[in-house]
Each structure stands twice: as C-alpha cells, then as structure tokens.
A = this chain, B = another copy of it.
Amino acid sequence: MTIEQELVKKLRSSNLRPTKQRLEICRVLFDRQKTFHFTISDLAQILNEKSKNKISLATIYNTVDVLKSKGHLKEISINSDKTFFDTNISNHHHFFNENTNELTDFYDEDISQIKIKKNIPGKKIKSVEVLVKVANNN
C-alpha cells in the first residue's frame, strides 16, 4: 500500500473524508520516519510553510481532535502551557529535556519491568507511562 493510500485509510477509518486539507495535514503528521511530537501551532506553521494555500486553524484543530479520538494520535502532558501530541501511539515513555524542552521517546525495553503493587478497587490499569525529566548537571 502506498503512503498516500495509508493516509486515506487512516482518514476513512476515522470517518473523515479524505479532503485535500486533511491529506495535507496527514502527510505532515504521518509521512515521516521518526516519531513526531508537536503542538497545534507547530503543525500550523509547518503547513503554512509547506503549502501555498493555507489551511484554517479550525480545520487543523478539528482534524487533530478526531485523529486523536480515533487513536491515530496521542496527547501527551508534560507541562501545561500547551497541548502536545505524539504520532507514536504505542504505550511508551518519555524523556523531557528541561533545558531545551525537547521530548524523546523510550520503550519498555529501556526500563526495568514495572509492577504496581497497589490497586484501586474496581478499577483496571489502562496504561503505565513514565516521565523522566533530565537536565544539564550544572
């Protein structure tokens, strides 16, 4: 399947018609090798630089919201200034570089196995994610 077909499929599976705006957004999000961490304004800026006819902010918000609710994007909370999203939707962990505000993914194989020894009655664990904050020594 070509990338373009993948993108269309992703949109259709979210009950979104593959319009040119949405495809443009999806290309930025998903047509890349590495995980992409972004805010709406990052994305809007990239889209503006990339294409001649600009896409309305409302469309960007709507598309990202739907992609998120359908599980194609994940929201990550590091600080509360802005909402970050992640194209890596697997259960994974983050390094947060306090000096540069950069995020780096890491996976279960990079951490010792985590066992939670306490539970909340009547509740089931849905996810376990670790946030490691790092900074320069000085």
Interface residues, chain A, CB within 8 Å of chain B? 75, 77-80, 82-84, 95, 97-99, 104, 106, 109-118, 120, 122-137
Q: Which residues of B contact A104 (CB under 8 A)?
A: 120
A132 to B99 CA separation, bound complex (whole angstroms): 26
Is B111 a contact of A115 with CB atoms below 8 Å? yes
Q: In the complex, which residues of chain B have a beta carbon less than 8 angstroms from the beta carbon of A130? A: 114, 128-131
In the complex, the chain B residue whose C-beta lies closest to that of A95 is: B120
Q: Within the oligomer, what is the number of copies of this chain?
A: 2
The answer on a CB contact under 8 Å between B116 and A115 is no
Given the known interface contacts A80-B77, A130-B128, A133-B126, the answer about A110 and B117 at a Cβ–Cβ threshold of 8 Å is yes
Known: A82-B80, A83-B80. A137 touches B124 (CB 8 A): yes
Given A75-B79, A97-B120, A111-B115, 17 new contacts (CB under 8 A):
A77-B77, A77-B80, A80-B80, A80-B84, A97-B123, A109-B117, A110-B116, A111-B118, A112-B112, A112-B115, A114-B130, A120-B134, A122-B136, A124-B136, A126-B133, A128-B130, A131-B131
